């Protein structure tokens, strides 16, 4: 019954809307109403995606849904009641509420079993209250045992690694890094924290970098990973919002050329929520849960700034001049075989994680700041099997760390300048020394200013490198009496 209390009427209608199921169901996400739509193929943030998608719920459809789930009645002036249509004030009240007590939150869609935060396995079709995931399988999955043993997990790991046996990984840790990717996809709801980016690089084109990621994505989602070209960090920032709104599970930055990194990528790799301005209007998206697993491919990719410490490298080392022409694979064609055997591969991956949880999540001594929850489950589960550490490959990034070499060069150069001058030096003095001498300071400044004319560029660089420890030493900035920064080198 529609009375004078509009708030009470709206709450009752929302309660009825919350009971809708199937294709008519309405959910909430990031402060807005959403629904699930089936699409054969569409473009999201410049990427080709297919299957069921999360989309903002259109305001005009609220009237339709209200008439589906409830019958509105109004009191006649002369007594009795009549059936009323949903009025504009009611539609506005429901649509613009921002939070809904009865509407279920939707964190994502999955078409295969996943591990929950408590270590149990989501296997029942439909909406899962614990994770906020909608489980909508497209194939039949085998029941995953509740108490697998370590021996079961070892057998499962060996079967999974057989899938990529023909790829020329540089080390066993690189091979285990791929296994980490598979487990991360399937156990993402169990990880209360961010996950690193998986960077597959090779020494030569045609080695199968993108295929490695596609195999992992096919196992976990039944589709190849959504591809996104990487132009720069600013352009990527515009795409992240669309990716978060639709809860796209995996994104591959394909064929990265040159350096990768920046503030937007750093933020999304270490965040659990994402918020941004809605294009065209003065409003924000609200806090959107971000659970996307990010990956990238490239030949000898370099990582800029802080992005380096957020990446797990997986390296392919082919000894062939034209690896794309190679023949004689153990499994050929590989991708159709993965799809055909997907159900058993999913079971194997979740068996590894479940067995580790049942064993008590035994600490394997692995540590990675910002990714503590991920490290405690995914790499630790693999190390527990006795296969080795999947995160040892992180050490190889030092060789491609631009900021590390930059810091080392300026440490040597500033040491040289302060010894000659007998005191800490300013950015202007560093420029003067670089122009006047052919020593270490000149080589350092040339890395950021090939004209040897800009104290501003040098100052900004040293601000970023301040107190960065390299080889037991660090650059230290101090203000003099005129509030000018002077730089020296100290032992860490």
pLDDT tens-digit readout, 194-235: 999 999 998 888 888 999 999 999 999 998 888 888 888 888
- DSSP helix/strand/coil, 288: strand
124 burial class (0-12, 13-18, 19+ CB within 10 angstroms)? Answer: exposed
Q: Give yes or no for residue 281 having a pLDDT over 70.
A: no
Contact 410, 461 (CB under 8 A): yes
* pLDDT band at residue 339 using 50, 70 and 90 as cut-offs: very high
Please report the pLDDT score of residue 308 as a whole number. 86
The Cα–Cα gap between 444 and 10 comes to: 66
Average pLDDT for residues 130-159, to the nearest whole number? 94
* Tokens at 356, concatenated: 């580790």
Are 491 and 473 in contact, with CB atoms under 8 Å apart? yes
Report the C-alpha gap between 294 and 251 in whole angstroms: 5
pLDDT of 245: 84
Residues 15-35: tens digit of each pLDDT:
999 999 999 999 999 888 999
Contact 484, 462 (CB under 8 A): no
- Phi then psi dihedrals of residue 9, to 5 deg: -65, -45
What pLDDT does 485 receive? 94
Q: Which of 37-41, 90-94, 404-408 is predicted with the least confidence, judged by mean pLDDT?
A: 37-41
Which of 447, 379, 372, 453 is CA-nearest to residue 410? 447
Query: For residue 4, is pLDDT > 60?
Result: yes
pTM for this predicted structure: 0.80
- Give counts: helices (H), strands (E), the chain: 15, 22
**Interval 61-88 mean pLDDT:** 85
pLDDT of 284-319, one tens digit each?
Answer: 777 888 999 999 998 877 887 788 889 999 999 888
Query: Tell me: the pLDDT tens digits for 403-458?
Result: 778 899 999 999 999 999 999 999 999 999 999 886 889 989 998 888 898 999 99
**What was the pLDDT predicted at 53?**
87
Residue 252, C-beta contacts closer than 8 angstroms, at least 6 positions apart: 210, 213, 217, 225, 226, 227, 228, 295, 296, 297
Domain 150-396 belongs to what topology? Rossmann fold (3.40.50)
State yes or no: pLDDT of 396 exceeds 90. no
pLDDT > 70? residue 402: no
């Amino acid at each position: 019954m529609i009375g004078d209390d509009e708030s009470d009427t709206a709450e009752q209608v929302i309660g009825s809307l919350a009971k809708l199921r199937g294709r008519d169901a309405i959910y909430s996400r990031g402060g807005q109403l959403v629904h699930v739509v089936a699409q054969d193929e569409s473009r999201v943030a410049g990427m080709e995606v297919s299957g069921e998608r999360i989309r903002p719920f259109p305001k005009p459809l609220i009237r339709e849904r209200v008439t589906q789930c409830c019958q509105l009645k109004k009191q006649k002036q002369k007594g009795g009641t009549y059936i009323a249509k949903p009025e504009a004030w009611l539609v506005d009240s429901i649509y613009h509420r921002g939070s809904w007590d009865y509407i279920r939150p939707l964190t994502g869609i999955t078409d295969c079993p996943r591990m929950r935060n408590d270590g149990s396995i989501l296997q029942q079709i439909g909406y899962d209250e614990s994770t906020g995931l909608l489980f909508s399988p497209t194939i039949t999955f085998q029941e995953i045992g509740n108490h697998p043993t370590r021996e079961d997990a070892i057998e499962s790991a060996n079967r999974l690694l057989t899938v990529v046996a023909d790829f020329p990984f540089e080390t066993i840790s690189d091979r285990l890094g791929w296994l980490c990717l598979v487990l991360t996809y399937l156990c993402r709801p169990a990880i209360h924290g961010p996950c690193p980016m998986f960077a597959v690089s090779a020494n030569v084109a045609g080695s199968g970098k993108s295929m490695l990621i596609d195999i992992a994505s096919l196992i976990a989602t039944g589709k190849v990973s959504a591809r996104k070209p990487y132009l720069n960090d600013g352009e990527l920032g515009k795409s992240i919002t669309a990716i978060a709104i639709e809860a796209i599970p995996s994104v591959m930055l394909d064929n990265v050329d040159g350096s990768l990194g920046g503030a937007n990528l750093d933020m999304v790799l270490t965040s659990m929520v994402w918020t941004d301005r809605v294009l065209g209007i003065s409003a924000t998206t609200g806090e959107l849960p971000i659970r996307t697993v990010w990956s990238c491919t490239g030949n000898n990719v370099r990582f800029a700034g802080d992005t380096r410490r957020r990446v797990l490298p997986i390296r392919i080392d082919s000894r062939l001049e034209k690896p794309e022409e190679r023949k004689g694979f153990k499994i050929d064609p590989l991708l159709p075989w993965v799809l055909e055997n997907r159900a058993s591969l999913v079971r194997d991956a979740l068996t590894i994680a479940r067995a580790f949880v049942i064993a008590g999540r035994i600490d394997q001594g692995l540590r990675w700041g910002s990714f503590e929850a991920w490290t405690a489950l995914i790499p630790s589960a693999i190390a527990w099997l006795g296969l080795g550490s999947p995160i040892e490959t992180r050490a190889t990034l030092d060789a491609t760390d631009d900021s590390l070499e930059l810091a080392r060069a300026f440490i040597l150069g500033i040491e040289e300048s302060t010894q000659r001058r007998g005191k800490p030096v300013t950015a202007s003095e560093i420029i003067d020394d670089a122009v006047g001498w052919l020593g270490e300071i000149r080589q350092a400044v040339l890395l950021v200013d090939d004209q040897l004319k800009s104290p501003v560029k040098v100052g900004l660089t040293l601000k970023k490198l301040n107190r960065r420890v390299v080889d037991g030493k660090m650059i230290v900035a101090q203000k003099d009496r005129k509030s000018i920064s002077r730089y020296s080198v100290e032992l860490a």
